[in-house]
Amino acid sequence: MTEDAQRGFTLLEMVCVIALIAMMAAVLLPFIPRQTSRSRLQAYALETANLLKADRNAAVRRHGDVATLVDAPSREIRSGASAASIRIPDDVQFDAVLPQTCRHRPAFSTISFFADGMSCGGAIALTRLDTAYEIRVNWLTGRIDIVSRSIAVN
């Protein structure tokens, strides 16, 4: 063979290299950390507010109490009216300010809603880097608001 015929790569060699790269990517991609984006943080805040609103509406509709569980250590918010739940990722700071008692009974990490639309109130804060969303439940009206704020990073 001449020297010109031996230069370059064959199609089979190229396919083998591409296959090896694809296999390495399939193995390594699950280990690359995925961080919560600003828009995904906002989506978690909206999901949380919608879950709380659904529980409030269920309490009014059923003419009975509904309690939403806010479990900060396990990073989960669970509906008291349905099977819905939200899991907050580990890279998001998750804080909750909840009442210790509600209508003279222990609250046990819940935000309770009542048939008249009232609640015992509470607040859930979701923070990631320079962005924070606070989901506030008004105790008198049961209204749920989302307040966003930027945090100055030094």
For range 118-143, the mean pLDDT:
94
pLDDT greater than 70 at residue 5: no
| 56-103 pLDDT per residue, tens | 999 999 999 999 999 988 999 999 999 999 999 999 999 999 999 988
Q: Which residue has the tokens 């048939």?
A: 115
**What's the start-to-end Cα distance of the chain, in Å?**
67
Q: Residue 29's pLDDT band (boundaries 50, 70, 90)? A: confident
> What is the spatial order of strands in the sheet that 131-137 belongs to?
93-97, 122-128, 131-137, 144-150
| Secondary element (H or E) of residue 125 | strand 122-128
31-53 residue pLDDT tens: 666 788 888 999 999 999 999 99
pLDDT digits over 109-130, tens only? Answer: 999 999 999 999 999 999 998 8
Q: Kindly list the structural domains of the chain, giving each domain's residue range(s) and its CATH number in brackets, ordered by start.
A: 38-150 (3.55.40.10)
User: Residue 122 has which token pair?
Assistant: 């509470």
Sign of the dihedral defined by the CA atoms of residues 72, 75, 77, 83, in that order: negative
pTM of the model: 0.77
The mean pLDDT of 134-151, rounded to a whole number, is 92
Q: Tokens 């509709």 identify what position?
A: 61
Residues whose CB falls within 8 Å of the CB of residue 14, separated by 6 or more in sequence, listed in order:
none
* pLDDT exceeds cutoff 70 at 2: no
| pLDDT score recorded for residue 153 | 58
